[in-house]
Structure 1
Amino acid sequence: MSKAFRGHQAVDRVSFTVEPGTVTGFLGPNGAGKTTTLRCLLGLVRPDGGEGLVNGRSYASLPNPLAEVGAVLEATNLHPGRTGRNHLRVMCDAAGLPVSRAEEVLAEVGIAEAGNKRVGGYSMGMRQRLSLAGALLGDPGVLILDEPANGLDPEGIEWLRRFLRHQAHEKGVAVLVSSHVLAEVEQTVDDVVIIARGRLVHQGTLTEVTGDGESLHDAFLRLTSAGTDPHTVGDPK
């Protein structure tokens, strides 16, 4: 998949697969093309070449997108005057889901007691959890999350780790998570996809990228500074 903006190649022939039952970390320096890739995958930006597929279909062609893919790209697109519970109920109505799902996902993300509080009074971490709740409403088989740890305190980050691994390993969900918190990514993911300057530089298991005792942080720095040829970046020389 490729996408350029005003002559700048933001994404250059990036191709990878996220398997069911795994947490895949989507990593890259600032400006590497991660968010553009996710937005193309979710039909928010039209790629210039190639396409992003969810369960073998483009997002636009999914008959019931919320039931197949849940996504969180930012936690700021929430109406401050609505309660968390009403926010989710509106989403249920729009998607033809029973409003009881709002109660279930509020409990699943651990903010049931804040359901009647206006979103404008939520902390950043609570907004993140509410956005995650919205992504879960349709009980999708795919989750796409951009920086879900933003605003979470250490306890919240530990909760997120357990949550993501439960979704993948217990429910069989394919989880794609973009994050800059490499130490936490290393404790959470099964696979990694790394891009730099809009191009894929590594795809494989976490064990493969951190072989010989190398930390994910060190491997990330090596790979993202080694060039953009995916056939040569595995060589640290």
Structure 2
Amino acid sequence: MTAVQDLSFAVGPGVTGFLGPNGAGKTTTLRMLLGLVRPTSGTATVDGRPYAELAHPRRVVGALLEASGFHPGRTARQHLLIQAQLAGLPAARVDTVLDEVGLGADAGRRVGGYSLGMRQRLGLASALLGDPAVLILDEPGNGLDPAGMAWLRSLLRDLAGQGRTIVVSSHVLAEVAQTVDRVVIVNGGVLRFAGPLAELSGAGDSLEAAFLRLTAELEGSAR
């Protein structure tokens, strides 16, 4: 079974929404970018190089694919200190990123007592640990309440304002529409659109309407 086919796009500074229905190939594509899946043909690069060839990968790209894998008996600070040590990053970054994601007051709590939203924030802290220029985030708003979603939107816009490149995969289209500069839409492993958000909304479509039209066109042609 082919996950993606002839999928080619590039993203630069700013926030890019990476969108598609379930099974569209989004997570596979992100995993290829991070060297977790090897493409059968073609290349997936970050800063012009495959992830495995980056000299200091955590300083170049930070990723949040799922907020799991935390030892429930460790505190958030302990988890990040281990991550920093393994990646050769300064321990001083730990408290910086904990404050940045709003976990400073809960850094001494065991992660096993964290809510889903708090674990999601810890995953974001881990992604930010190396102060990377590129962020790859898969459903970063999962588990966040409305105030948390507003906080995440502000954080991503602030990071983009610093010149970073951010790729966000999400199903929450209303939130994506308030956050991103560009959109990449895939369906069935095929690219359906890549360009500025304004190009979709310029035709009078909302992001949701454009998304449904573009993904339905491919589904209709396969019948």
Q: If the length of structure 2 is used for normalisation, what is the TM-score? A: 0.97
Which string of whole-angstrom CA distances, capped at 9 and with x for unpartnered residues, describes residues 76-111 of structure 1? 121111100000000111111121110000001111
Do structure 1's residue 11 and structure 2's residue 7 form an aligned pair? no
Indicate the residue corresponding to 1:60 in structure 2.
52
The amino acid that maps onto 1:212 is A
Q: Which has the bigger relative contact order, CA under 8 A and spacing at least 6?
A: 2
**Shift, 1:9, TM fit:** 1.0
**Shift, 1:227, TM fit:** 2.2
Q: Structure 2: which 5+ runs fail to align?
A: none
CA distance in 1, matches of 2:43, 2:121: 30
CA distance in 2, matches of 1:34, 1:77: 21
Do structure 1's residue 131 and structure 2's residue 123 form an aligned pair? yes
Indicate the residue corresponding to 1:183 in structure 2.
174
Secondary structure of the 1:225 match is helix
Which string of whole-angstrom CA distances, capped at 9 and with x for unpartnered residues, describes residues 42-67 of structure 1? 00000001111110000000011000
Secondary structure of the 2:186 match is strand
Which string of whole-angstrom CA distances, capped at 9 and with x for unpartnered residues, describes residues 144-196 of structure 1? 00000000000000000001111112x10000000000000000000000000
Do structure 1's residue 157 and structure 2's residue 149 form an aligned pair? yes
- Between Structure 1 and Structure 2, how many residues are aligned? 219
Do structure 1's residue 79 and structure 2's residue 71 form an aligned pair? yes
Which string of whole-angstrom CA distances, capped at 9 and with x for unpartnered residues, describes residues 193-218 of structure 1? 00000000000100001223211000
Q: Structure 1: which 5+ runs fail to align?
A: 1-7, 229-237
Secondary structure of the 2:2 match is strand
The amino acid that maps onto 1:156 is G
Do structure 1's residue 207 and structure 2's residue 198 form an aligned pair? yes
CA distance in 1, matches of 2:70, 2:201: 38
Indicate the residue corresponding to 2:107 in structure 1.
115
Indicate the residue corresponding to 1:147 in structure 2.
139
| 2:215 aligned to which of 224, 229, 236 | 224
Indicate the residue corresponding to 1:46 in structure 2.
38
| 1:192 aligned to which of 175, 183, 190 | 183
Q: If the length of structure 1 is used for normalisation, what is the TM-score? A: 0.91
Do structure 1's residue 91 and structure 2's residue 77 form an aligned pair? no
CA distance in 2, matches of 1:225, 1:71: 30
**Shift, 1:114, TM fit:** 0.5
For the aligned residue pairs, the C-alpha RMSD in angstroms reads 0.9
CA distance in 2, matches of 1:45, 1:212: 37
Indicate the residue corresponding to 2:160 in structure 1.
168
The amino acid that maps onto 2:5 is D
Q: Percent identity?
A: 61
